[in-house]
Structure 1
Amino acid sequence: MAPWAVLIALSVGLGGFLLWIHAPAALLLGPLLAGIVLSASGGKVRFPLTPFVLAQGIVGCLIARMVPLSIVDDVLRHWVLFTAGVVLVVAASSLLGVVITRLQLLPGTTGLWGSSAGAASVMTLMSEEYGADARLVALMQYLRVVLVAAVAALVARLFGVSPAHAPSAIVWFPPVDWLSLAETLALAAIGPLVARWLRIPAGAFLVPLVAGIVLTHFGLMTIELPTWLLAASYAFVGWNVGLRFTRPLLIHAAKVLPLILGATLVLIALCGAIAVLMVWGAGVDPLTAYLATSPGGSDSIAIIAASTSVDVSFVMAMQTVRMIAVLFVAPVLTKFIADRLETGRRR
């Protein structure tokens, strides 16, 4: 019980500090950093899967409340922009992976699998079959989620965007419509179950999001999300990432950690360059473009987008389209590149 008490205390302290300095998504970043600190220092917390899955469902409901059904029309009307954005992000991540693998900066094809922009669990599982170090692949994938969230919050701050509510204005226990809250919790719980039954990748987040948009659009439900519930959900999403940075993993990766960090920052910079192209070529506002093209951590980006003044519909449409593309295309593409690189070495 002691590790949980330490984790919660650290999360409250760090989250409170980030709220005090008006950092975007403070209630996500505080628990995320607390998880890293505790796990890296040797603390062990048995993380329950069910609350995390429910938390993903609640984040999906949050975005559903903010995104209109017209998001589908937006994607269809701007399909060239969305296609270009998705293709460029996947191409940038693949190119970086090829460079790392050809230069043999990491063992085998580790760099190729670790650089893929999303589908972290799929990439980690498949990587061992192709001579990669699965632990380093996992570190690359989840370190990118941490850095993407941190850099996105920093970019939001640099653009003068503050959280939607100042710390003094936060009402932690507002009046609640209990029927609407019950409906929201049901959607957040049933959505992931449906996703698991249908084997929908990332469905714990996507199914409540899509279903929530449809149900609220037709007036079949009202999404009710009191502040205390959102804070708890953000904490579970943050802990899920932060607690992966265990001491044995960091010791194993110590020698190549600077390289992994550098490669991750290069990928974030490449995606930032794609965002600049979207700003210049399509007139998208800078922060919206940056969040839309950020590589990985869709639930984290959703929380940051929801807490800042950006076009949430555009951000989540781009992130969702890319997530689907990465889940279905990236494993096949990465496998194809890995096979070609392996064949080239044998010649």
Structure 2
Amino acid sequence: MPTRPSLDSIALMRQWLLLLVLAVIAGQVLRLIGMPAADFLGSMLVAIGLGVRGARIRVPALAFKFGQGCIGLLVARSLSAETLASIAHDWPVMLLATAITVVMSLLVALFLVRYGDLPGSAAAWGLSPGAASAMVALAEDHGADSRVVATMQYVRVVCVVLIGAVVSHALGSDVTPPQIPTGTAPLGFTVPANGILTILVLTGSVLIGARFPAGALLVPLLAGSAMQLGGVFIIDLPQWLLCLAYGALGCYVGLRFDRATFDFVVRRLPSMLFSALALIALCALSALFIANLLGKDFLSVYLATSPGGLDSMAIIALDTQADVGLVLAMQTMRLFGVVLIGPYLARQIIRLSR
């Protein structure tokens, strides 16, 4: 039986060129059919295919963090005083939604341990609905199999992104690129000065935030929000930089699916997919309940409660004109909650699984 040719023998420069060309084509095709987060989604799918075929290229961690920083600033641009007031008013319901998501992930993890042939520690961290990179790092620190955890986390991220994009498209949301404002800030900075200050804030906050879990996203988000709400300058990100940020995030996630990971996933894919889809479905059901409590549209609440990464959900929310403030607030609240109580939940799942 003939074997498929591997990309391992191709020069690294050609692998990068192949990734770039295919990612651009995939992004354009997805954009033509109206798919949200087209650049991010297209580059991720292409990178998964190349990674499985033996590509040896990897997106540097710093590029991934700068991509997160760009998304953080882009989300910060969408925040306003009115949005923050709404969040402050609805925080009890948001806290309830966070608790519901965490409890559901606990139940699905217990089910997976019992019927999915996975160790309790790996299932606990693999289904923790926080930032994938942060959960992998925490799992490694607490003695869990980081390979299993990383696989489960990124399988879930892929499922969440794909389903989130399809749901956004099916609900008929108008997909428009994020509008980056231009003009003069209250302190008198002009357009070129806004762009320079934005790049400086991006660089400094990413370098500072890179030392903490999800800090490369949250520090630029907090710094950009504070400076823009304070009237220091208007966040001005060029469109080409946003495309690079989306591509870096998608390729970083996709290229982690190498052949070894693929073979490992195939053997346990049914149980991993079932657990991921079950958690997504339970979160969607809770979104119906939370949407009624908040009086918000289902799409915004669905993205806010989806057990995916903060950056990927923010990208979809920005592209579909959903309530970015709500998505950001609930995803961030859950991220901090999982990081803080993750070790305790993992111990409880291990104890109950015995």
**TM-score normalised by length of structure 2:** 0.88
- Structure 2 counterpart of 1:341, one-letter code: L
Q: CA RMSD in A?
A: 2.2
Partner of 2:132: 120
In structure 2, how many angstroms separate the alpha carbons of the residues matched to 1:273 and 1:252? 31
Aligned mate of 1:259, from 267, 271, 281: 271
Q: Would you say the 8 A contact 1:71–1:317 is kept in 2?
A: no
Aligned mate of 1:106, from 81, 104, 118: 118
Partner of 1:225: 237
In structure 2, how many angstroms separate the alpha carbons of the residues matched to 1:317 and 1:336? 27
Secondary structure at the residue paired with 1:253? helix
Partner of 1:341: 352
Q: Percent identity?
A: 39
In structure 1, how many angstroms separate the alpha carbons of the residues matched to 2:334 and 2:138? 20
Matched, 1:177 2:188: no
Q: Would you say the 8 A contact 1:56–1:299 is kept in 2?
A: yes
Partner of 1:313: 325
> Structure 1: 5+ residue runs without aligned partners?
none
- Structure 2 counterpart of 1:227, one-letter code: Q
Matched, 1:162 2:174: yes
Residue 125 of structure 1 deviates from its aligned partner by 4.3
Deviation per residue, 1:40-76 (Å, 9 max, x gap): 1111113222222111111111011111145443333
What does 1:8-27 align with in structure 2 at a 5 Å threshold? 8-27=20-39
Closer, same or farther: CA 129–236 of 1 in aligned 2, 3 Å: closer
Closer, same or farther: CA 307–73 of 1 in aligned 2, 3 Å: same
- Structure 2 counterpart of 1:81, one-letter code: V
Residue 132 of structure 1 deviates from its aligned partner by 4.9
- Structure 2 counterpart of 1:181, one-letter code: G
Partner of 1:239: 251
Partner of 1:331: 343
Secondary structure at the residue paired with 1:163? coil
What does 1:25-174 align with in structure 2 at a 5 Å threshold? 25-103=37-115, 105-127=117-139, 132-165=144-177
In structure 1, how many angstroms separate the alpha carbons of the residues matched to 2:219 and 2:14? 35
Closer, same or farther: CA 256–49 of 1 in aligned 2, 3 Å: same
Deviation per residue, 1:118-164 (Å, 9 max, x gap): 14334334546878543222111011111111111111111101311
Partner of 2:208: 194
In structure 2, how many angstroms separate the alpha carbons of the residues matched to 1:142 and 1:11? 19
Closer, same or farther: CA 337–188 of 1 in aligned 2, 3 Å: same
Secondary structure at the residue paired with 1:117? coil
Q: Would you say the 8 A contact 2:125–2:342 is kept in 1?
A: no
Secondary structure at the residue paired with 2:235? coil
Aligned mate of 2:294, from 282, 300, 308: 282
What does 1:296-307 align with in structure 2 at a 5 Å threshold? 296-307=308-319
Q: Would you say the 8 A contact 1:118–1:296 is kept in 2?
A: yes
In structure 2, how many angstroms separate the alpha carbons of the residues matched to 1:294 and 1:318? 10
- Structure 2 counterpart of 1:3, one-letter code: Q
Closer, same or farther: CA 273–14 of 1 in aligned 2, 3 Å: same
Secondary structure at the residue paired with 2:172? coil
Residue 112 of structure 1 deviates from its aligned partner by 2.2
Q: Would you say the 8 A contact 1:24–1:153 is kept in 2?
A: yes
In structure 2, how many angstroms separate the alpha carbons of the residues matched to 1:258 and 1:336? 25
Closer, same or farther: CA 123–46 of 1 in aligned 2, 3 Å: closer
In structure 2, how many angstroms separate the alpha carbons of the residues matched to 1:25 and 1:128? 31
Closer, same or farther: CA 219–132 of 1 in aligned 2, 3 Å: closer
Q: Would you say the 8 A contact 1:23–1:162 is kept in 2?
A: no
- Structure 1 counterpart of 2:296, one-letter code: V
In structure 2, how many angstroms separate the alpha carbons of the residues matched to 1:56 and 1:108? 30
Deviates more, 1:72-81 or 1:152-161: 72-81
Closer, same or farther: CA 126–306 of 1 in aligned 2, 3 Å: closer
In structure 1, how many angstroms separate the alpha carbons of the residues matched to 2:116 and 2:158? 25
Closer, same or farther: CA 126–191 of 1 in aligned 2, 3 Å: closer
- Structure 1 counterpart of 2:219, one-letter code: V
Q: Would you say the 8 A contact 1:123–1:331 is kept in 2?
A: no
